[in-house]
Amino acid sequence: MKVEAETTAPDVSTAPYTGWVTHIMSNNTDTFADNGIDAFRIMLYIRKQLSDNEQNLNATLPNPFDNTNTIAEIEANPDKQQALSTIIQFLHHYGRHFFLQ
């Protein structure tokens, strides 16, 4: 007598879609990777912020590296060093595809 194993399909209606599109930029772009926002949402937000600031003639965004001419000057200033570290971390997780080929 042959016994067939009972199988159940996973409920995909409630699972977030993390399909092939999220793997184009990097595997870190999956929704909730490292409990962080995915690259598509954050890039969309950044694009909107840049557009809004471009349209608003009274808006100014401070340059975190003003009055700085060298990397040594950035490294000597804790605030500027923190800004650079944040940029590098962001690019590592969300923008590697801009630089690595």
Residue 9 lies in a domain: no
Instruction: Looking at 1-77, list the stretches that DSSP marks H as alpha helix, in order from N- to C-terminal side.
Output: 39-55, 71-76
* % the chain with pLDDT above 90: 30
Identify the pLDDT of residue 53. Answer: 84
What's the number of domains the chain is made of?
A: 2
pLDDT at 1: 58
Residue 43 is assigned to a structural domain of this protein: yes
CB atoms within 10 A of CB 28: 16
64 CB-side CA count, 13 A:
14
- For residues 78 and 92, state if they share a domain: yes
Range of the domain at 84: 64-101
pLDDT tens track for 72-82: 999 999 999 99
Q: Which segments in the chain show pLDDT lower than 50?
A: 17-23, 25, 27, 29
| Residue 15: predicted pLDDT | 57
Q: What confidence score (pLDDT) does residue 100 get? A: 75
Write phi, then psi, for 43 (nearest 5 degrees): -65, -40
| Residue in 94, 91, 64 with CA at minimum distance from that of residue 80 | 64
Whole-number mean pLDDT of the chain? 76
The pTM score is 0.59
Residues 88 and 73 in one domain: yes
C-alpha distance from residue 48 to each of 11, 13, 56, 83, 101 (Å) = 35, 30, 12, 21, 27
User: Six-digit token pair at 31?
Assistant: 């929704």
Instruction: Give the HSE-up count for residue 80: Cα atoms under 13 Å, Cβ half-sphere.
Output: 15
